[in-house]
Structure 1
């Protein structure tokens, strides 16, 4: 078994480090899937979209079942976020740091995920940031209460779903309604 300590003068691969830290094997498939999602952090993908995006890599062949199992393991350890959209389709993305308490907006057309704390400008932005801090405190209180009752491995997701301004303006959001 290979050592997880890199030779002196070499930096550890951040994807390998993440996989190891979460108790997962550092396979080529796991590195490829996690690497792809980390490289595209603002977009969520269905299983089929992810499989299509990854099929160009001849060195890492991923069949449908292997990809399902890998996505499931990455989600279970908290490296991926799984959301179900308005049409009950599962979408996956790298776990954003904002997901635990900051509200975010999910576009049902382009599937971009944006924290709402920076989405508005001017006075509305200040009010939204204050609300986000209140939500963060409420989320932390709720998580602490559940932990005291014995619940484990919890996270919280505050999502607003709709069509973003860019998609609404371009007309592509009409199909997602």
Structure 2
């Protein structure tokens, strides 16, 4: 009898060389269930406290987040206030610029409605990014990724903020 992963989270963990522990399933499962939101370590710990039979301690969660990020299952971004935020790795993160709301922390790809305005420039941006990565690789740099983010307050948060006037 073969010990096979029984669900997609177990499959992801195994495919990335990680143990399928209850803590790993809990963290990855939570972040996959909330793909458009990034969480600080403290926010993630608080969110998971209600879902776990036994709360994850701060250090265990930190180490787990670090391992999941190292193998590419989580995306770690540093926001404008230099706070690390984590989310499940979006499939589009390497190719599409994104908008990070500094209020609700939703992360939205800048495609769709923006595609007309960005399409021509996106190809130039992607070529420039690829050229930069190739130049760094030629100099011996390894394990690189590039992220292009626009940060601000999304339209939903801006319209619900106290004292906000609609134009």
Question: TM-score, normalised to structure 2's length?
Answer: 0.86
Asked whether the equivalents of residues 102 and 135 of structure 1 are also in contact (C-alpha less than 8 Å), the reply is no
Tell me the CA shift for residue 88 of structure 1.
1.9
Q: Shift in Å at residue 173 of structure 1?
A: 10
**Contact between 2:159 and 2:166, CA under 8 Å: does it hold in 1?**
no
1:115–1:82 CA distance, 2 compared to 1 (3 A): same
What is the CA RMSD across the aligned residues, in angstroms? 2.9
The answer (yes or no) to whether the contact 1:83–1:90 under 8 Å persists in 2 is: yes
The offset of 1:39, in angstroms, is 0.9
Structure 2 runs not aligned, ≥5 long: 1-5
Moved more, 99-108 or 145-154: 145-154
Alpha carbons 2:10, 2:25 under 8 Å: kept: yes
Q: 1:37 to 1:173 in 2, by over 3 A?
A: farther
Q: Distance in 2 between matches of 1:173 and 1:45?
A: 27
Whole-angstrom CA distance in 1 between matches of 2:162 and 2:65: 29
Q: For the structure 1 residues 157 and 106, does the alpha-carbon distance in structure 2 shift closer, same or farther, using more than 3 Å as the test? A: same
* d(CA) in 1 for partners of 2:90, 2:73: 9
Deviation at 1:175, TM superposition (A): 15
- Deviation at residue 172 of structure 1 after TM alignment: 6.1
CA distance, structure 1, for counterparts of residue 111 and residue 77 of structure 2: 20
Cα distance in 2 for partners of 1:173, 1:115 equals 28
| Runs of 5+ unmatched residues, structure 1 | 1-11, 120-124
State TM-score, norm by structure 1: 0.81
